[in-house]
Chain A
Amino acid sequence: GDSVTQMEGPVTLSEEAFLTINCTYTATGYPSLFWYVQYPGEGLQLLLKATKADDKGSNKGFEATYRKETTSFHLEKGSVQVSDSAVYFCVVVTNAGKSTFGDGTTLTVKP
């Protein structure tokens, strides 16, 4: 079946550090890929998405590129802020509409 493997957390960084959270997936066909973010005490919200190979999703300084050859969708940000502290989920959605979530990676950014 479909699966998503995310970098294990927790990840702790200092403010202005570079962030990478790795995500690889297995899925049939041509899935769409998403990153969701969950701030403390809140539900998940969409951070960015990519719907076909080589697409780059971006939002709030975060980026991720859909790499079909490596089945990856790594999340990056050049300079993190304390307000980026949250749990990040990588999600694969197949053409049939089925969503598979990664386990989530907790990011803590210290001032």
Chain B
Amino acid sequence: DVKVTQSSRYLVKRTGEKVFLECVQDMDHENMFWYRQDPGLGLRLIYFSYDVKMKEKGDIPEGYSVSREKKERFSLILESASTNQTSMYLCATKYGTTYEQYFGPGTRLTVT
């Protein structure tokens, strides 16, 4: 089974802090994604990566950056956290050109 883990289930940070969310997968998938999930808005794609050191902006990249130095690890960075970034963050992976995505359990981030 594919396993996707995220560094924290719950995180509380202060406005202006730099925040790192980490995602690790164990199945050698090329593609990795970061989404945020908000009530009534479904899942929105922040960034994705289709290979090491490669990244592409999703639908809502503003205020975020990403890093993929190793194939199994994809980090989401909030350079200066703001209260409107309070949300559930979900990481997902996908193999090659298949369409099914495998999700981690999510990190619920609260910015105060």
Asked if A32 is an interface residue, CB under 8 A from chain B, the answer is: yes
Contact A89 B106 (CB under 8 A): no
Contact assessment for A34 and B99 in the assembled complex, using a CB-CB cutoff below 8 Å: yes
Chain B contact patch, size range = 10 to 19
Name the residue of chain B whose CB is nearest to the CB of A87.
B37
Residue-wise, chain B 1-24 has the 8 Å CB interface mask toward A (1 for contact) of: 000100000000000000000000
Select A97's contact among B4, B97, B106, beta carbons within 8 Å.
B97
Q: B-facing mask of A98-110, CB < 8 A → 1, else 0?
A: 0101111000000
Which B residues are in CB contact (< 8 Å) with A82?
none
Q: Is the CB of A34 within 8 A of B100?
A: yes
Q: Which of A32, A41, A42, A101 is B99 in contact with, Cβ under 8 Å?
A: A32
Q: How far is the CA of A36 from the CA of B104 in the complex (A)?
A: 13
**Residue-wise interface mask of A (74-102) relative to B, using a CB-CB cutoff of 8 A (1 in contact, 0 not):** 00000000000000010001000101011
CB distance from A38 to the nearest CB of B (A): 8
Q: List 10 A-B contacts (CB under 8 A).
A: A43-B92, A43-B104, A44-B90, A46-B101, A89-B42, A97-B97, A99-B45, A101-B44, A103-B40, A103-B41
A residues with a Cβ closer than 8 A to B are 4, 32, 34, 36, 41-46, 49, 51, 89, 93, 97, 99, 101-104
